[in-house]
Structure 1
């Protein structure tokens, strides 16, 4: 559920304002209308204070794909929509998902369509899913749409896993390096400080630096994890609240050497795959672009899509604004132009998505092969510097004793 801020008029003709919690905007409107309030304005409240914890409510992509495959199979076998939903609800071992499917079943029995019933659960069914299901219901091909959705989510999941794997590997090695350096500075280096002080000898600059760093780390090192956690919470809160902050953080990530290129290719693959899937299932172009704008997962790309949507509203080609965006490669705009002129936009977008998904594979291998030696070298230099800072004055002291 989410919180919504509303403004409306009650039965006495008075203007009322407030907040209301609901699964979707349509549900909140229904609740307020039931209270005698004619809604004039309604908007979701952003920020961590208004986000309900959704532990256990999310459905994993793997489970969702399995659900879609089974659903399509049941419908192809001639089993009714209501019975199929009931069967899938009973056999799933995910309690939260089971509750959602039973609720959808009740809505279906009350006469609503599957897309209307699913719209009440945005945590499980995305806007992409709902709009494609609506297209399938209108064309009488819901089973085919579900198969296509399963293929779409499988491809998205595979691409996401590759990106996460590419970023996790250097993160783990970096974390190990940080822990090793922290341990050496906090527990090993301070044991030598008293010994050096007792000899009252002049220490090399590097040794003095390492000893001061070890002293500070021993006294204040516990603050570092706390600062990192608070920083992560602050960044997440700001990203959920301010679009401009999301834009600049995404911009910085895309400009990072190596990793930025990988993130760009993954985002382009997601954009073209989603847009192509929507077009292939006869979702109107304006609505398709608006959906992709929300789920592309990158504010820099979303900004380019907003300009593209504005161009479409003015009767222009969607590629004109995209050509002016540095984040959209020329190949993408060229493929879209060819698709618009030939009437094969969905095919062109699918081919573009295939190309960039393959590029993500190649980029992940390149990042691994490049970052591994760099991180190992960093760890060797850090540990070597600490060891040298301790060893050099010790050799000098032994020479003086002799």
Structure 2
């Protein structure tokens, strides 16, 4: 979205300058006039010399830890009696993420024009997730905005913790696999050609695996550009297929849940996120149907999204939550049973928090087990593959040397 640098005068005669995101200059001027500003100058922000590449690249995404920091700091200021506008002004100066700082500046301008905090946040869905907007709206209506922001800070910190734990679990296996692939490519492209002249003299006597490796080596050295084009095209179309169509998304998300070892971990993460998010919304006073609509957009799995859609339809028709959850076949029996108890005793939010804590511990334990199991397994796997490749080349050479003697 284009950015416009403006200079305006407020009702007291003081001049102000800033940057505003808008689709066009007319929209930027209209938004400034909504704040009762007299426009002195407005122009498109120019790209500074030497920073063209930086401005071509998309701005950095807002992380969960940054959202947690924003909510926590703003809650502390509100609890201390600092007005919301002053708190946002102070926060804007502390943030290093330019996208978030610019969004807060626009939120500040929207608040000055008389709009609500939740409405102002909702104008920036690329920065502030829907769950935060819904909770802020409930906090504004109930007059407990500081409590809501504290709760959201804990929620975003939990999401950040889960993401970092999963990253740390897959970092080492990813490094080992990458090293294995690079080692294989190096051997096939640079090592095998050294022996190719000798081995081709006894081509008919070579094992099939050795001949296959020599053929692959020749193809990679002579037609490497075709391999890059083919691989890039395949990745592009696979990505489009699994992200652009509903059928592709269903196939992708089903495949994720069926991946050996990792499928169970992914399912537990989804269940944990569903329980924590729904508990946070219900404890914040959001109606169950509205809360489920927000959760539906945050689980990041179309199989779960369709299950939540069925639950919303059933609740709208007057049913409880546990029965339609069981019918979807998406949720484990433990979740269904705990939610059924929560409905009976009228403590859905606390019960969902307990289920979320249980699956959170499951994710932690499973991630730890995966790290312990995968590290030695991958090392052995890489050693076996590299050993087979070397043996397929060295074995025929040893036979030649033996026949000479």
Shorter chain as normaliser: what TM range?
0.7 to 0.9
User: 1:328 and 1:368 mapped to 2: Cα distance?
Assistant: 26
Partner-residue secondary structure (3-state), 2:77: helix
User: 2:342 and 2:266 mapped to 1: Cα distance?
Assistant: 25
CA apart distance, 1:377 = 2.3
User: 1:63 and 1:218 mapped to 2: Cα distance?
Assistant: 47
CA apart distance, 1:126 = 1.0
Q: Which residue does the alignment assign to 2:157? A: 154
Q: Which residue does the alignment assign to 1:259? A: 262
Q: Which residue does the alignment assign to 1:136? A: 139
Q: 1:165 aligns with which of 161, 168, 184?
A: 168
Matches within 5 A, 1:3-402: 55-56=58-59, 58-198=61-201, 202-402=205-405
Size of the aligned set, in residue pairs, is 358
CA apart distance, 1:259 = 0.1
Q: Which moved more, 1:264-273 or 1:323-332?
A: 323-332
In structure 1, the gaps of 5 or more residues are 2-20, 32-52
Partner-residue secondary structure (3-state), 1:282: coil
In structure 2, the gaps of 5 or more residues are 2-20, 32-55
CA apart distance, 1:328 = 1.2
The answer to whether the 8 A contact 1:300-1:327 is kept is yes
CA apart distance, 1:69 = 1.0
CA apart distance, 1:221 = 4.4
Partner-residue secondary structure (3-state), 1:324: helix
The answer to whether the 8 A contact 1:57-1:97 is kept is no
TM-score (norm 1): 0.83
Q: Which moved more, 1:165-174 or 1:175-184?
A: 165-174
CA apart distance, 1:365 = 1.5
Partner-residue secondary structure (3-state), 1:183: helix
The answer to whether the 8 A contact 1:187-1:218 is kept is no
Q: 1:164/1:200 Cα in 2 relative to 1: closer, same or farther (>3 Å)? A: closer
Q: State the 4+ residue runs in structure 1 displaced beyond 6 angstroms.
A: none
CA apart distance, 1:226 = 4.7
CA apart distance, 1:200 = 7.2
User: 1:188 and 1:128 mapped to 2: Cα distance?
Assistant: 55
Q: 1:199/1:264 Cα in 2 relative to 1: closer, same or farther (>3 Å)? A: closer
The answer to whether the 8 A contact 1:269-1:353 is kept is yes
Partner-residue secondary structure (3-state), 2:205: coil
Q: 1:312/1:202 Cα in 2 relative to 1: closer, same or farther (>3 Å)? A: same
User: 1:254 and 1:328 mapped to 2: Cα distance?
Assistant: 13
The one-character-per-residue Cα deviations of 1:213-266 (angstroms, maximum 9, x if unpaired) are: 322232344555554444443344334422221111111110112100000001
The answer to whether the 8 A contact 2:64-2:159 is kept is no
The one-character-per-residue Cα deviations of 1:245-298 (angstroms, maximum 9, x if unpaired) are: 111111111011210000000110000000000000010100111111111011
TM-score (norm 2): 0.83
The one-character-per-residue Cα deviations of 1:325-344 (angstroms, maximum 9, x if unpaired) are: 44311000111111111110
Partner-residue secondary structure (3-state), 1:295: coil
User: 2:235 and 2:213 mapped to 1: Cα distance?
Assistant: 28
Q: 1:54/1:70 Cα in 2 relative to 1: closer, same or farther (>3 Å)? A: farther
